[in-house]
């Protein structure tokens, strides 16, 4: 058995696999299938100051080797999270990354401030949701706005602050550098890529929101490229995600520079994917005689 | 256990109409937990998203589930390639099913097209206390009529073009039954215009009505919030989710 533990911003994870925000709710539904403590961590459903109802359906469309979603940050609000969901998650042996979002920098800071007196382990600030009109990707696609939101949240929290980046930008490395300079302790990437499908029989987009965020195996090479570029541009840890569906994918993303790996759409294909990925990583490490998963982080040898 | 995921053997496969298949799956622990109106989420080889298919038969003694599905696209076409003896990957039983009340003396089950299969377990539960109205495009699309008859339910068949049974929509014979009165509950699954029409009749006649909805979904268990459906609960508008809060809803809760 290889040592699967990793450390990100001083926080210990027993293994590097974390279900990504938005695919896993607050964990309860999947606990029917496996104990949550098999996971390294959980990135909770993106949570805002107040309850959000989200976008109209259809919110899901399939794509070749992937999918689109336009859920639109439906969530019960941060107070519900703190009162009902967080205490439950904190009884589990795993790292809780509270994914937070807001329509304005002030709102993001207000949500983060509410978490300050809780025992949540990390905050993942979502500046990259493509499915909301205000905030979301509007913050994450400009270096200035990304830095501004990060600064405002940094000012109200001592918790480790991970900023989740959008791939829908010209240079993700520049955005990463700007949030690092603004006080982020880590970055996570990639959020979904903006996409669209049309039902040719009706001429209407499949998603009621017309466009949505693309995820799944089809985006994996983009995630590897961006994680590699960002890991080379910043001095803070990178949490990688985007189309990871196997242990080999997770290892590839870690070689590209990720210190931990989030798993998203793969869970819809195989609900056991996060647990299976940990096992597959361990098997691969053992087969190579590598004693610790930490030893593969950033080991890619570029040509 | 509420639900589980695994690979189970297909015991029987048959084509029961053009591009409509029936699978009987040996899955004792799923059958033991399943209720009428619930669904199975099937993995289609080579596709990211599973396909939700309603449960058409539950045999707790034999430990089997029956599903009947139509090829709608590439994913269901892939599932239809499976044969008896093959393994099928299912996440099941999922969702909130129909309310079966042993005290009900007369119920009406209404299925439109591929919305007919989830009515069969209800017909089995209610037997001769049920009238099962099924509607199809034409005679070649008709399925499950013999299965309904075997349950003891009164069966009423309609087709859009009159090539089998009554010429017209299911709402016609249903309106006649509703006029006679004495109906304790109506259960329906099918196209949205059909469900909306049935819900309107039930509201007018003050008959309890449950309907089964369909929506594009990803996780199937209430985590991803993809399959939103506008409903009213406690006088407040609320985005319910077809996979977990449904697929069966009280008709009065749905905002059409």
For the record, the structure tokens of A259 come out as 């210190």
- B51 pairs with which residues across the strands? B42
- The alpha-carbon gap from A234 to the nearest alpha carbon of chain B, in Å, equals 32
Q: Show residues of chain A in contact with B230, CB under 8 Å.
A: 56
- The Cα B75–Cα B49 span in angstroms is 9
CB pair distance less than 8 Å for B244 and A54? no
Considering CB atoms only, which of B5, B48, B228 is closest to A54?
A: B228
Q: Quick one: A228 exposed, middle or buried, by C-beta within 10 A (0-12, 13-18, 19+)?
A: buried
Mutate to test the interface with A, among B75, B215, B239 (most CBs of A within 10 A): B239
pLDDT at B182 over 90: yes
Contact B53, B67 (CB under 8 A): yes
Instruction: Lowest mean pLDDT of A131-145, B50-64, B77-91, B226-240, name the range.
Output: A131-145
Chain A residue with CA closest to B42: the answer is A269
- Contact status of B49 with chain A (Cβ, < 8 Å): yes
Q: Show residues of chain B in contact with A66, CB under 8 Å.
A: 48
Q: For position B235, what pLDDT does the model report? A: 87
- The Cα A264–Cα A261 span in angstroms is 10
Closest to A263 (Cα-Cα) out of A111, A39, A69:
A39
- Contact status of B228 with chain A (Cβ, < 8 Å): yes
CB pair distance less than 8 Å for A268 and B215? no
- Contact status of B96 with chain A (Cβ, < 8 Å): no
- The alpha-carbon gap from A81 to the nearest alpha carbon of chain B, in Å, equals 14
Contact A55, A44 (CB under 8 A): no
Is A129 considered catalytic here? yes
State the average pLDDT over residues A274-299: 98
CB pair distance less than 8 Å for A58 and B5? no
The pTM of the full predicted model, rounded to 2 decimals, is 0.95
CB pair distance less than 8 Å for A269 and B91? no
Query: How many pairs of residues across A and B have Cβ atoms under 8 Å apart?
Result: 100
Q: For position A247, what pLDDT does the model report? A: 98
pLDDT digit string (tens) for B123-170?
A: 999 999 999 999 999 999 999 999 999 999 999 999 999 999 999 999
The number of angstroms, rounded, from the C-alpha of A203 to the middle of its chain's C-alpha atoms is 33
- The Cα A84–Cα A25 span in angstroms is 13
Radius of gyration of chain A (CA): 18
pLDDT digit string (tens) for A135-186?
A: 788 899 999 999 999 999 999 999 999 999 999 999 999 999 999 999 999 9
CB pair distance less than 8 Å for B47 and A74? no
Considering CB atoms only, which of B3, B218, B237 is closest to A268?
A: B218
Whole-Å CA distances, A23 to A18, B22, B34, B226, B229: 11, 31, 25, 9, 18
For the record, the structure tokens of B207 come out as 């008959």
Chain B residue with CA closest to A206: the answer is B216
Q: For residue B15, how many other CB atoms are within 10 A of its CB?
A: 10
For residue A86, name the pLDDT band (cuts at 50, 70, 90): very high
For residue B256, name the pLDDT band (cuts at 50, 70, 90): confident
- B201 pairs with which residues across the strands? none
- Contact status of A212 with chain B (Cβ, < 8 Å): no
- The Cα A281–Cα B58 span in angstroms is 39
Count of residues in chain A: 303
Chain B residue with CA closest to A245: the answer is B48
State the average pLDDT over residues B114-122: 98
pLDDT digit string (tens) for B61-74?
A: 999 999 999 999 99
- The Cα A190–Cα B13 span in angstroms is 43
- Contact status of B50 with chain A (Cβ, < 8 Å): yes
pLDDT digit string (tens) for B74-115?
A: 999 999 999 999 999 999 999 999 999 999 999 999 999 999
- Contact status of A77 with chain B (Cβ, < 8 Å): no
Place of tokens 């309904």: B148
Q: Show residues of chain B in contact with A273, CB under 8 Å.
A: none
ipTM associated with this complex: 0.94
- Contact status of B40 with chain A (Cβ, < 8 Å): no
State the average pLDDT over residues B19-42: 97
- The alpha-carbon gap from A183 to the nearest alpha carbon of chain B, in Å, equals 31
- The Cα B7–Cα A266 span in angstroms is 17
- The Cα B244–Cα B229 span in angstroms is 11
Closest to B242 (Cα-Cα) out of B251, B221, B232:
B221
pLDDT digit string (tens) for A15-70?
A: 999 999 999 999 999 999 999 999 999 999 999 999 999 999 999 999 999 999 99
Whole-Å CA distances, B19 to A267, B138, B141, B174: 29, 14, 9, 28
- The alpha-carbon gap from B49 to the nearest alpha carbon of chain A, in Å, equals 6
**SS3 readout for chain B:** CCCEEEEEEEEEEEEEECCEEEEEEECHHHHHHCCCCCEEEECCCCCCCCEEEEEEEEECCCCEEEEEEECCCHHHHHHHCCCCCCEEEEEEEECECCCCCCCCCCEEEEEEHHHCHHHHHHHHHHHHHEEEEEEECCHHHCCCHHHHHHCCCEEEEEECCCCCCEECCCHHHHHHHHHHCCCCEEEEECCHHHHHHHHHHHHHHCCEEEEECCCCCCCCCCCCCCCEEEEEECCEEEEEECCCCCEEEEHHHECC
Catalytic residue among A9, A108, A129, A143: A129
For CA atoms A221, A225, A228, A231, give the dihedral sign. Answer: negative
Find out whether the peptide bond into B37 is cis, omega within 30 degrees of 0: no
Q: Which of residues 144-173 of B touch A (CB under 8 A)?
A: none
- The alpha-carbon gap from B58 to the nearest alpha carbon of chain A, in Å, equals 22
Chain A residue with CA closest to B46: the answer is A65
Closest to B107 (Cα-Cα) out of B193, B184, B34, B33:
B184
- Contact status of A217 with chain B (Cβ, < 8 Å): yes
Considering CB atoms only, which of B216, B223, B227 is closest to A30?
A: B223
């Amino acid at each position: 058995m290889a040592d699967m533990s990793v450390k990100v911003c001083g926080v210990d994870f027993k293994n590097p696999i974390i279900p990504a925000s938005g695919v896993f709710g607050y964990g309860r539904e999947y606990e029917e299938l496996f104990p949550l403590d098999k996971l390294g961590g959980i990135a909770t459903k993106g949570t805002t100051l107040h309850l959000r109802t989200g976008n109209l359906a259809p919110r899901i469309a399939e794509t070749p080797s992937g999918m689109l979603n336009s859920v639109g940050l439906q969530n019960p609000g941060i107070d519900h999270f703190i009162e009902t969901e967080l205490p439950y998650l904190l009884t589990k042996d795993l790292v809780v990354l509270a994914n937070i979002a807001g329509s304005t920098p002030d709102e993001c800071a207000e949500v983060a401030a509410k978490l300050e007196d809780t025992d949540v382990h990390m905050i993942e600030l979502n500046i990259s949701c493509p499915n909301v009109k205000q905030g979301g990707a509007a913050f994450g696609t400009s270096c200035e706005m990304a830095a501004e939101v990060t600064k405002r949240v940094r000012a109200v929290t001592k918790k480790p602050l991970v900023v989740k980046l959008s791939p829908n930008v010209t240079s993700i490395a520049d955005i990463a550098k700007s949030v690092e300079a603004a006080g982020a302790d880590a970055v996570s990437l990639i959020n979904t890529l903006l996409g669209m499908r049309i039902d040719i029989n009706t001429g209407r987009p499949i998603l009621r929101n017309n466009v949505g965020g693309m995820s799944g195996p089809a985006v994996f090479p983009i995630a590897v490229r961006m994680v590699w570029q960002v890991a080379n541009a910043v001095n803070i840890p990178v949490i990688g995600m985007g189309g990871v569906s196997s242990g080999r994918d997770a290892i590839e993303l870690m070689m590209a520079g990720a210190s931990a790996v989030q798993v998203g759409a793969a869970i819809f294909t195989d609900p056991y994917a996060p647990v299976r990925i940990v096992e597959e990583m361990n098997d691969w490490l053992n087969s190579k005689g590598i004693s610790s998963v930490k030893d593969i982080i950033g080991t890619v040898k570029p040509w | 256990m509420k639900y589980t995921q695994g690979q189970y053997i297909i015991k029987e496969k048959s084509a029961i109409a053009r591009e409509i298949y029936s699978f009987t799956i040996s899955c004792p622990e799923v059958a033991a937990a399943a209720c009428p109106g619930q669904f199975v989420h099937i993995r289609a080889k080579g596709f990211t998203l599973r396909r939700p298919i309603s449960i058409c038969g539950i045999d707790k003694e034999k430990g089997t589930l029956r599903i009947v599905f139509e090829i709608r696209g590439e994913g269901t076409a892939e599932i239809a390639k499976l044969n008896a003896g093959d393994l099928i990957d299912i996440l099941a039983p999922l969702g909130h099913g129909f309310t079966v009340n042993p005290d009900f003396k007369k119920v009406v089950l209404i299925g439109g097209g591929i919305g007919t299969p989830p009515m069969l377990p209800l017909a089995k539960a209610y037997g001769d206390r049920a009238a099962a109205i099924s509607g199809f495009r034409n005679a070649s699309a008709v399925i499950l009529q013999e299965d309904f008859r075997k349950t003891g339910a009164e069966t009423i068949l309609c087709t859009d073009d009159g090539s089998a049974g009554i010429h017209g929509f299911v709402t016609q014979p249903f309106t006649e039954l509703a006029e006679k009165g004495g109906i304790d509950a109506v259960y329906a699954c099918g196209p949205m215009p059909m469900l909306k029409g049935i819900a309107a009749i039930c509201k007018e006649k003050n008959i309890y009505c449950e309907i089964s909805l369909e929506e594009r979904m990803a996780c199937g268990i209430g985590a991803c919030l993809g399959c939103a459906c506008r409903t009213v609960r406690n006088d407040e508008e609320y985005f319910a989710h077809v996979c977990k809060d449904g697929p069966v809803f009280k008709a009065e809760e749905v905002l059409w």
